[in-house]
Amino acid sequence: MKLSDIRMGKRYRQDLGDIETLARSMADVGLIQPIIVKPDNILVAGARRIRAADSLGWIEITHVVARNLEEELQLLKAQRDENTCRKDFAPSEAVAIGRDMGEREAAEAKKRQGARTDLEHGAQLAQSEMGKTRDKIAESVGMGHSTYQKAEKIIEAAEENPGLFSDLPDKMDEKSVDAAYKELRRRELAAERSAIAKAAQDLPADDHWTVEAADIRSYQTNQRFDFIITDPPYPREYLDLYAVLARRALEWLNPSGLLVAMCGQSYLDQIMQMMGEHLEYYWTGCYLTPGQPKPLRHRQVNTSWKPILIYRLPCATYKGKLFGDVWTSEGNDKEHHKWGQSISGMLALIKQICLPGQTIFDPFCGAGTTGVAALMHGCLFNGIDLDEDNVGITRKRLHDTTQI
């Protein structure tokens, strides 16, 4: 086929890579794989080979004709690893190819359905065929199905919200699809959190709960609470907060109440020593976290539970209900906060220890899971957090809970 007869059509690849090396290979061993064209001479694959052939002064080039989409896919797959000089499609290029093929496959599928009146079945059939086409496209461009889907979502996000995601396609091409997708999910969650927090600013006040933006070190209130139930941050740099929590509990806890604090195991001895300087140890409970164990690499341990440390005021007497000391969580809730606990686990704990109508305070309320569980059990809730977005999200969740 003459190079001058080839119609380039729509091109997806922007960077043709090392043409000089490819040209030397073609001069030495010839063209290993023919280019692919459609019946109307529009190029399907082989732009790099054409550029290299042109640089060598070739007039003609070997070609094969793909007469339909299925043949295109098969030929692309055959050429995927054509030689060591081949430049793989960038993920964004692969998505562009997939979109074009997907549009044509949708048109062909519509033709295949003909004039049938069973529209519901026809729609299901078209959806099934589209899924198969996407799998074939992913394989043809050398990508796994899930990786290709992630790449599609990245491109769609950049198109729908360029202000937030326009840089991610380049990040995907330069680094990896997974790295860009993780960043996409991080930004999506941050945007969702911000939207929820802004919406919460207009919520009406509620007598059953109060949430404020405040620092545990300086927060002031005249109220004392029946229970302080909280989940402070676990990393080592935050260990001193357990000492602050115990010290401030002297001001906040009712004489007959309990401080219930979740913690990790890595620094348990230090935490108990710090808290014991201000409060009197009462009990240790077990918070089970079924499912995949969390690996603590710095200790070489897969852990499936967390200690629940329970303290009371010095010389005080707990006069509450008899409670069990094992609680089970159905799984952590990371939708609202990266350290979030599940509502199921916190509700199980609160039901065991607290009575409806009692007051619960959480000075590390995060996204409000303790508050949601408290309201579900009929308790009153107060919470504080340093992060304004967390406060907004908590307010929205508590408001929604009281509307159920």
Give me the DSSP letters along 337-403.
Answer: -TTPPPHHHHHHHHHHH--TT-EEEETT-TTSHHHHHHHHTT-EEEEEES-HHHHHHHHHHHHHHHH
Q: Could you give the count of Cα atoms lying within 13 Å of 133 in the half-sphere of its Cβ?
A: 24
Report pTM: 0.57
Q: How do beta strands 380-385 and 359-362 pair?
A: parallel
Per-residue pLDDT of the chain (404 residues; tens, 9 = 90+): 888 888 886 666 666 777 888 888 888 778 878 888 888 888 877 888 888 898 899 888 988 887 776 666 665 655 454 443 556 778 888 888 778 777 777 777 677 666 555 555 555 545 556 566 677 777 767 788 889 999 999 999 999 999 999 999 999 999 999 999 999 998 987 787 677 656 655 656 678 899 999 999 999 999 999 999 999 999 899 999 999 999 999 999 999 999 999 999 999 999 999 999 999 999 999 999 876 667 777 778 888 899 999 999 999 999 888 999 999 987 655 454 444 468 999 999 999 999 998 999 999 999 899 999 999 998 999 999 999 999 999 999 999 998 86
In three-state secondary structure terms, 226 is: strand
Q: Enumerate the H helices of 56-176 as residue ranges.
A: 69-79, 91-113, 119-140, 145-160, 162-165, 168-174
Interior angle at CA 25, CA 19 and CA 28, nearest 5: 140
In angstroms, rounded to a whole number, what is the distance separating the alpha carbons of residues 70 and 109?
Answer: 12
In angstroms, rounded to a whole number, what is the distance separating the alpha carbons of residues 286 and 310?
Answer: 11
Closest CA to 31 of 90, 86, 74: 86
Please name the helix (run of DSSP H) or strand (run of DSSP E) that holds residue 280, with its range, or none: strand 280-288
Domains 3-79 and 206-403 share a fold: no
pLDDT of residue 339: 44
pLDDT of residue 207: 82
Closest CA to 9 of 49, 41, 53: 41
Please name the helix (run of DSSP H) or strand (run of DSSP E) that holds residue 302, with its range, or none: strand 301-303
Fold of 206-403: Rossmann fold (3.40.50)
Residues 332-364 pLDDT 10s: 554 544 444 689 999 999 999 999 989 999 999
**Domain locations in the chain?**
3-79, 91-198, 206-403
CATH class of 3-79: alpha beta
In angstroms, rounded to a whole number, what is the distance separating the alpha carbons of residues 232 and 339?
Answer: 9
pLDDT of residue 82: 45
Q: Which residues contact 383 (CB under 8 A, 6 or more apart)?
A: 209, 210, 211, 212, 361, 362, 363, 365, 368, 370, 371, 394
pLDDT of residue 226: 94
Q: Write phi, then psi, for 121 (nearest 5 degrees).
A: -65, -40
